[in-house]
C-alpha cells in the first residue's frame, strides 16, 4: 500500500515551513532565557560532555538534555552554535505538532477544520513565539500533544496492544523537561477513559504502567547525571520538578495568582482573541448561536453536572477529547503558585479546534463580523507600515516622548530611523500595507458567493504579512538594543588575554547573553576565587562586593554605556589581583 500525501497537506506544510524557518536566525538573543539554554549545547560541543556539561562558569543544566542534544547535533556541521541552529529544534517541533494535528483532525473531521485548526495554532501569538525561541517549552508541547493524539488513536482502535508510539513521545517529553512530559498525557487520557465508562482500577494501573515505561530511558540519563553531579544534581532536579509545583522553590519563580493563566490565554491568542470579543456581542443575539452555547452551558458543573457527565460519556469523542485536553492541562497548571504563559502551550492546539468550528459558524451565519475583523486587522497592518515610514522621515512629534523612559524611546527611534535596510527588508516593510490596500479594494468579495476557502486566505494573509514585517525587520532592528554581542566583542578585544570572571548578587543569574557570545568563557568569581583577572559586575553591586573581599585589589577599567540584558544595570570592569599574605 503506497503512502500518498494530499495536496492540502503539502500546501499547509509549505505555509508552516515558510512562516517559521526563514525568520529563525534574524533576531539576536535579547533575554537571559535563550542564551541560557543555547550555552548548554555550546558546552556539550566545547567540552564533549553530553551528560551533564558544566556551563556559565560552574552551573549544571536546569533541564534534562534532549533539546540541548538536538541543538548540538544540528550545530555539528558548523562546529558552533548560532541563533538559528539553537532555535531550529523548537521550530521543527512546532512543525511536527502542527502537521500531526492536521492529520489527526483531517482524518476524523474534514479538511477545512483541519486547515483552520493548524493555521490558528501556528499564528497564535504564544505558540508562534515559542516556536521561534531557544526554550524547552515548544519541544515539550510537541511531545505532550503528540502523545495525546497517539493515545486517542490507540483508544479508537480498541486499545489493542501496547501504545509504543505514545510512550515514546512521553519519553521524549520527560527527557526534555522532566516527569511532567508523562504526567500530562496520562492524566488527560486517564480522565477521558474514566468518563467513557472504563473501569477505574484498570485505567489507573494501565496509565501508571505507561507512565513508568516512559521513565525507563530517561532514568539512564538521571543515573549517569547523578553519578557526575552527586547530591547537588539531585537537589536541583527535585527543586525544578517537584519544588516548583509545590511552591517550595528556594527562589521566587514566576509566582502569580489563579487568574493569571486565564489572562495569558487572552493575550496568547492574539490576534484572534480580538475576533472572539468582537463577534460575541453580535453573535450572542443570533438564534443560531444557541446551538453552540447550549453545549457550553453543560460545562457549568454546579448546575448541570449530570448534563456534563452525559455529554462526556456519549458526546462526540473528538469534542470530548479535545475539550478535556485543554481543560485538564489548564486546571493542572492553575494549582502551583509558579505560573508562566508558556506552561499552557499544550492547550492551544485543542482550543484552536474549537475556534475553527466557531469561525466556520460565523462564516455561515454572520459574515459581517468576519468582514469587520479583517478590516481592523488590515488597518493595523497599514498603520504599522505608515508609522514606520513616518519615523524614517523624522515626522515623529518628539514632544510626546516624556517620562522616565524618554531616553530609551529616543534610542528606539534612532534605531528605526538610521538602520539601513536592503531590498528584501523594504519589501517586508511594505508587504502589510500592500495586503491592506488589496483588501480595501476587494473586501466585498467576502459575501454569499464566496467559499470558506476564500475567507481562509483573507483571514490569514494579513497575519502572515505582519509576522514577516515584525520578525524580518522591526524586531531584529529594535532588539539590537537588548543584545550583548557588542559587549562580548568589546571584552574579547580589550581584555584579549585576560581570564574573565563575573559576579551577580542573585545566585542563579549570570551574564548569559555575553557568555554565549564569548563561547562560554566567563567564570564565576566566588566559585574559583582566582589570583588575578578581569571582573565584570553590576554597578550597584560593586561597592559591597569589594568590601566583602578585602584580600583583593580592584582597579576600575571601564563602564558600559548602556544597561544590560540580565541585570538591567550598567556593568563595571575591574582588573584585580590577590594580595600576598
The string of DSSP letters for 22-91 reads GGTTTSPP-SSHHHHHHHHHHHHHHHT-SSS--BTTTBPPSS-SHHHHHHHHHHTTTTS--HHHHHHHHH
Contact indicator for 384, 390 with CB cutoff of 8 Å: no
Nearest to 388 by CA among 350, 348, 419, 357: 419
Q: Which residue in 63, 21, 389 sits closest to 240, CA to CA?
A: 63
From CA 544, how far away is CA 530, in angstroms rounded?
19
The closest alpha carbon to 36, from 537, 512, 460, 456, belongs to: 512
- pTM confidence score: 0.92
- Alpha helix locations (H) across 239-316? 244-246, 260-268, 272-283, 289-297, 305-314
Give me Rg for the CA atoms of the chain.
26
Task: Answer yes or no: are the C-beta atoms of 101 and 125 closer than 8 Å.
Answer: no
End-to-end CA distance of the chain: 82
- Contact by Cβ (8 Å): 467, 23: yes
Q: What is the pLDDT of residue 412?
A: 78
Cα-to-chain-centroid distance, residue 57: 27
Q: Which residue has the cell 446551538?
A: 291
The neighbouring-strand residues paired with 110 are none
Q: φ and ψ at 257, to 5 degrees?
A: -75, 175
Alpha-carbon separation of residue 168 from 151, 213, 214 (angstroms):
11, 9, 7
What pLDDT does residue 10 have? 93
pLDDT at 249: 55
pLDDT of residue 217: 96
| Per-residue pLDDT at 565 | 66
Q: pLDDT value at position 568?
A: 79
Task: Specify the pLDDT at position 1.
Answer: 37
Q: Would you give per-residue pLDDT tens digits along the chain (581 residues)? A: 345 678 889 999 999 999 999 999 899 898 888 999 999 999 999 999 999 999 988 888 889 999 999 999 999 989 899 999 999 999 999 999 999 999 999 999 999 999 999 999 999 999 999 999 999 999 999 999 999 999 999 999 999 999 999 999 999 999 999 999 999 999 999 999 999 989 999 999 999 999 999 999 999 999 999 999 898 888 888 877 766 655 565 555 667 777 888 999 999 999 999 999 888 776 565 545 555 555 555 444 455 667 777 777 888 999 999 999 999 999 999 888 778 889 999 999 999 999 999 999 888 888 888 888 888 888 888 899 998 888 888 776 665 566 666 667 777 777 888 888 899 999 999 999 999 888 877 665 555 556 777 788 888 999 999 999 999 999 998 888 788 888 999 999 999 889 999 999 887 888 999 999 999 999 999 998 999 999 999 999 999 999 999 999 999 999 887 777 677 788 999 999 998 76
Edge-to-edge strand ranges of the sheet holding 571-578: 522-524, 500-503, 532-538, 571-578, 552-559
How many Å apart are CA 354 and CA 348, to the nearest integer?
Answer: 10
Peptide bond preceding 271 in cis form (omega within 30 of 0): yes
pLDDT on residue 195 = 93
3 state SS of 578? strand
Confidence (pLDDT) at 251: 53
Nearest to 137, CA basis, from 88, 67, 44: 67
Amino acid at each position: 500500500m503506497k503512502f500518498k500525501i494530499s495536496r492540502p497537506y503539502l500546501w499547509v506544510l509549505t505555509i508552516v515551513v515558510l512562516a517559521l524557518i526563514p525568520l529563525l536566525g534574524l533576531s539576536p538573543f535579547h533575554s537571559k532565557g535563550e542564551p541560557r539554554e543555547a550555552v548548554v549545547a555550546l558546552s556539550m560541543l566545547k567540552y564533549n560532555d553530553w551528560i551533564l556539561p558544566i556551563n556559565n562558569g560552574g552551573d549544571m543544566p536546569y533541564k534534562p538534555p534532549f533539546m540541548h542534544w538536538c541543538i548540538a547535533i544540528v550545530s555539528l556541521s558548523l562546529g558552533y552554535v548560532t541563533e538559528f541552529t539553537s532555535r531550529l529544534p523548537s521550530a521543527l517541533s512546532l512543525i511536527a505538532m502542527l502537521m500531526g494535528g492536521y492529520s489527526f483532525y483531517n482524518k476524523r473531521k474534514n479538511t477545512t477544520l483541519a486547515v483552520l485548526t493548524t493555521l490558528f495554532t501556528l499564528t497564535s501569538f504564544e505558540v508562534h513565539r515559542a516556536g521561534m525561541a531557544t526554550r524547552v517549552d515548544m519541544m515539550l508541547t510537541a511531545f505532550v500533544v503528540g502523545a495525546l493524539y497517539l493515545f486517542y488513536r490507540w483508544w479508537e482502535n480498541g486499545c489493542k496492544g501496547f501504545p509504543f508510539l505514545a510512550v515514546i513521545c512521553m519519553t521524549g517529553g520527560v527527557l526534555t523537561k522532566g516527569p511532567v512530559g508523562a504526567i500530562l498525557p496520562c492524566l488527560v487520557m486517564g480522565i477521558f477513559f474514566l468518563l467513557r465508562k472504563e473501569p477505574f482500577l484498570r485505567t489507573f494501573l494501565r496509565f501508571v504502567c505507561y507512565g513508568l515505561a516512559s521513565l525507563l530511558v530517561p532514568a539512564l540519563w538521571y543515573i549517569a547525571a547523578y553519578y557526575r553531579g552527586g547530591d547537588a544534581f539531585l537537589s536541583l532536579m527535585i527543586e525544578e520538578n517537584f519544588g516548583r509545583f509545590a511552591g517550595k522553590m528556594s527562589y521566587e519563580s514566576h509566582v502569580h495568582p489563579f487568574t493569571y493563566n486565564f489572562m495569558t490565554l487572552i493575550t496568547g491568542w492574539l490576534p484572534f482573541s480580538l475576533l472572539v470579543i468582537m463577534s460575541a456581542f453580535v453573535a450572542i443575539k443570533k438564534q443560531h448561536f444557541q446551538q453552540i452555547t447550549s453545549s457550553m452551558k453543560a460545562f457549568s458543573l454546579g448546575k448541570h453536572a449530570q448534563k456534563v457527565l452525559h455529554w462526556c460519556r456519549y458526546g462526540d469523542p473528538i469534542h470530548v477529547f479535545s475539550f478535556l485536553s485543554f481543560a485538564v492541562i489548564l486546571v493542572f497548571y492553575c494549582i502551583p503558585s509558579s505560573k508562566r504563559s508558556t506552561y499552557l502551550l499544550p492547550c492551544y492546539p485543542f482550543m484552536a479546534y474549537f475556534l475553527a468550528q466557531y469561525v466556520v459558524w460565523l462564516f455561515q451565519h454572520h459574515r459581517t463580523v468576519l468582514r469587520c475583523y479583517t478590516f481592523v486587522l488590515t488597518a493595523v497592518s497599514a498603520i504599522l507600515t505608515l508609522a514606520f515610514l513616518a519615523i524614517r522621515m523624522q515626522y515623529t512629534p518628539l514632544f510626546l516622548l516624556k517620562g522616565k523612559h524618554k531616553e530609551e524611546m529616543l534610542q528606539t527611534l534612532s534605531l528605526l530611523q538610521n538602520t539601513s535596510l536592503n531590498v528584501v527588508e523594504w519589501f517586508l516593510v511594505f508587504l502589510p500595507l500592500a495586503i491592506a490596500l488589496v483588501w480595501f479594494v476587494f473586501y466585498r468579495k467576502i459575501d454569499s458567493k464566496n467559499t470558506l476557502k476564500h475567507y481562509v486566505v483573507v483571514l490569514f494573509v494579513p497575519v502572515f504579512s505582519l509576522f514577516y514585517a515584525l520578525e524580518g525587520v522591526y524586531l531584529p532592528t529594535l532588539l539590537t538594543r537588548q543584545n550583548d554581542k557588542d559587549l562580548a566583542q568589546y571584552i574579547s578585544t580589550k581584555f584579549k588575554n585576560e581570564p574573565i570572571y563575573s559576579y551577580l548578587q542573585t545566585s542563579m543569574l549570570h551574564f548569559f547573553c555575553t557568555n554565549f557570545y564569548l563561547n562560554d568563557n566567563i567564570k564565576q568569581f566566588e566559585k574559583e576565587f582566582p589570583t588575578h583577572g578581569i571582573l565584570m559586575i553590576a554597578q550597584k553591586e560593586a561597592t559591597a562586593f569589594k568590601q566583602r573581599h578585602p584580600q583583593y585589589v580592584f582597579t576600575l577599567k571601564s563602564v558600559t554605556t548602556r544597561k544590560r540584558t540580565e541585570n538591567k544595570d550598567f556593568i563595571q570592569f575591574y582588573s584585580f589581583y590577590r594580595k600576598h599574605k
